[in-house]
Structure 1
Amino acid sequence: MINVRVFRAPDDPEACMRFYTGHLKLLEIYFGIAQVTSGSADWMQHENTIVIIVEDETRTKTYGGARVQVADGKLPLPIETAIGKYDPRIYSYIKKGSAEICGMWNSKEVAGMGIGSQVLARVGVVLGAQLPIDTYHVLCAPITARVGKRVGFIIDESLGNNGTFFYPKDDFLATAMVITDPFSLPHADPKEKLLISDLRENPMQTKIEVGPKGSYDVNYSLKIPSPVHSTP
């Protein structure tokens, strides 16, 4: 059984650290990248960062994850820091009501199961219905741009060179993508929309997922907790 749960970053420091070290290790070993904006640790104390974590049943082993960071004027979205020097328009573009899916990764142990290419991207879009947002951003590598399109993102041609940038290195191509209606998802694949709708309507459920290497059970816990400091 694989568990996929969500929490606000300050609520689980230990899980945040497992997420952070796993993501950093992956970037360094497989891509030779020591620093990317989504690899920063600033988000760990940010209550408007929602962490999606993929764990074993004991919640001690992390297989991957992603983050949804809501723009609130307190912590820049990773896409702002990443491409601001190439296209300063991003700073006025990101406003209240914007959020970004970032820091997506999965470990070698679950490679080929569809954790990164299916589950995490889908869950990130599922969470949009629980957040006060109207625009979703993501900065994708070429392989994940295909995943983004399936769950409803389109290339944001208003930025960079028709939406593309050389980031984080000169030989890495990144694509800025956007969802301007995170509720109705007009550009999502119809089959994917059904799966997203099911998880939105039933955020606490166990279901069988089918990936390239076969099927596996996933226990979903996708209800975002209220901020600790919120008032009734």
Structure 2
Amino acid sequence: MIRFKAFKATDDEAACHKFIEGHRKVLEIYGITMITSAKHQWVHHDNTYVIIVESMEDKRALGGARIQIADEVLALPIQEAIGKIDMNIYKQIEQRKPLKTGELCGLWNSREIAGFGVGSIFLIRASVALAYALGLNSLFALCAPATVKGVKKTGFDVNVDLGNSGQFYYPKLDLIATAVIIGNLRTLENAEPGIRELVFDLIENPVQIKKESGPRGDIEVMYDLKIT
């Protein structure tokens, strides 16, 4: 069994550093040594919330993601990542701040968890459910090619007003990142109906044990997404 555990970053510094170390190892596999979301100021940021995926047997970190709420204290990673290329990202975020916006960032999963058939799609669903529970009305993200399909299923649209129809060379010139956004997080009207139902089930029941089906069979997942 694996556990998806949500917490406020400032409430558990040790878990934050376990998240950081796991993320670093995954990035190194792809030859990436520095990206904006890998900076660690968020550990002490009151408006950052973390989901860490752990093995229930030995508590190893197998994956994770963060929800960072936009405020006047810490820039969103997407602002730092693409702001020098396209200033329009600042305008978009400022327009949405009054109704509460943020970013799904720092998403990663180990090869081991991918081997279970439980990859980023489960983290995306859990992260969107957490963002909803935190009261956000919109949600930005900057994703790798492998996650674009999953975020679209979960209600994100390509943010075509940024970059080259939403695309950027990032974090390296041979890699393409896609800027996406959920414009109305409260309704998720653009999510696939089945995925939307799963997200709202997590919103209504943030603590549950669920048998998830992946390409390599079923696995029991304990969701603990309630922020205390």
Listed as ranges, the gaps of 5+ residues in structure 2 are: none
For 2:82, the equivalent position in structure 1 comes to 83
- Tell me, in whole angstroms, the C-alpha distance in 2 between the residues paired with 1:115 and 1:42: 29
State which of 133, 137, 140 in structure 1 corresponds to 2:140: 137
Q: SS state of the match for residue 141, structure 2?
A: strand
Output one character per residue of 1:61-115: Cα deviation in whole Å (capped at 9) or x when no partner: 1111000000011111000000001001111221321110011111122123343
Out of 195, 201, 211, which is 1:208 matched to? 211
Aligned partners of 2:196, 2:117: CA distance in 1, in Å? 17
1:167 is matched with which residue?
Answer: 170
1:42-79 CA-to-partner distances (Å, cap 9, x unmatched) read: 11011211100111226731111000000011111000
Q: Which residue of 2 aligns with 1:128?
A: 131
**Amino acid corresponding to residue 32 of structure 1 in structure 2:** G
TM-score by length of 1: 0.93
What is the Cα-based RMSD across aligned positions, in Å? 1.2
Residue 222 (str. 1) matches residue 225 (str. 2): yes
Give the count of matched residue pairs.
224
- In the TM superposition, residue 116 of structure 1 has moved relative to its aligned partner by 3.0
Percent identity of equivalent pairs: 47
Match of 2:52 in 1: 53
- Counterpart of 1:77, as a letter, is L
Return the alpha-carbon distance in structure 2 between the equivalents of residues 52 and 145 of structure 1. 20
**What residue in structure 2 maps to residue 31 of structure 1?**
30
Task: Tell me the equivalent position of 2:15.
Answer: 15
SS at match of 1:44: helix
Secondary structure of the residue aligned to 2:42 is helix
Query: Which structure 1 segments of 5+ residues have no match?
Result: 226-232
TM-score normalised over the length of structure 2:
0.95
- CA contact under 8 A between 1:112 and 1:211: conserved in structure 2? no
